[in-house]
């Protein structure tokens, strides 16, 4: 699917950051750290370029971690260790990360037509984001915008209205932040 040699090189570079055991993608060469967000972006790139095995490596890691948890799913911690495939201690979940992972999973399913393999992961993310929408005033504006975009196919108007209300009630440090985040909501609508 690649459209240029430059794009091929970019995707090959991202693939070079994959850990062959855990399936996670490092943030940069020589680093063991990564985030849910960076791996969601990698899934999008891999799916776009038809690299199913690479996309599934990332999704498999999060699916394994969700299935291994005996507690109610509260989201994936933001920071992870690429080599162990486990969250870094002390890292907390970010709603925006969950939203981006759900968007990446949806895109993977759209590209490859696979609807059942990651059902537990998808259901967990949708349920989590639905619950967190009730407390969206505690979420940063970028997270709310990502939640809105990710939840559009799955939710009733009530939850989307709540997310939109939270977004427009957010306080911003500068007008530039407000304009940037408003663009996310407009593009998702």
Three-state secondary-structure class, residue 99 = helix
CA-CA distance, 67 to 59, in Å (whole number)? 12
Please report the pLDDT score of residue 188 as a whole number: 53
Task: Kindly tell me if the per-residue pLDDT of 127 is higher than 60.
Answer: yes
Q: Which range is most confident: 58-72, 99-113, 155-169?
A: 99-113
Strand order in the sheet with 79-81: 33-35, 79-81, 86-87
Q: Is 23 left (phi over 0), alpha (psi -120 to 50) or beta?
A: left
pTM for the model stands at 0.84
HSE, CB side, 13 Å, CA atoms: give it for residue 61. 29
User: Above 60 in pLDDT, residue 186?
Assistant: no
Domain ranges of the chain: 5-133, 138-189
Flag the least confident range among 40-44, 105-109, 162-166: 162-166
For 97, half-sphere exposure in the C-beta direction (CA atoms, 13 angstrom radius) is: 18
Residue 94 in contact with residue 143, Cβ under 8 Å? Answer: yes
Q: Cα(187)–Cα(189) distance, rounded to whole angstroms?
A: 6
Q: Residue 175: its pLDDT value, please? A: 44
The angle, 0 to 180 degrees and rounded to 10, between the axes of the packed helices 119-133 and 52-68 is 60
């Amino acid at each position: 699917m690649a459209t240029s040699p430059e794009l091929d090189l970019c995707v090959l570079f991202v693939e070079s950051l994959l850990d062959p055991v855990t399936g996670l993608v490092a943030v940069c060469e020589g680093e063991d750290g990564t985030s849910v967000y960076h791996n969601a972006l990698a899934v999008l790139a891999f799916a776009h370029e038809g690299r199913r095995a690479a996309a599934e490596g990332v999704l498999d890691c999060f699916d394994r971690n969700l299935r291994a948890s005996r507690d109610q799913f509260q989201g994936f911690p933001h920071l992870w260790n690429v080599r162990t495939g486990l969250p870094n201690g002390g890292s907390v979940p970010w709603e925006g990360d969950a939203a981006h992972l759900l968007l990446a999973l949806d895109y993977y399913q759209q590209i490859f037509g696979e609807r059942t393999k990651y059902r537990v992961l998808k259901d967990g993310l949708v349920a989590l984001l639905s619950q967190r929408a009730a407390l969206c005033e505690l979420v940063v504006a970028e997270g709310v915008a990502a939640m809105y975009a990710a939840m559009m196919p799955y939710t009733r108007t009530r939850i989307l209205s709540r997310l939109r209300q939270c977004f427009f009630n957010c306080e911003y440090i500068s007008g530039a932040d407000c304009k940037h985040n408003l663009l996310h909501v407009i593009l998702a609508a």
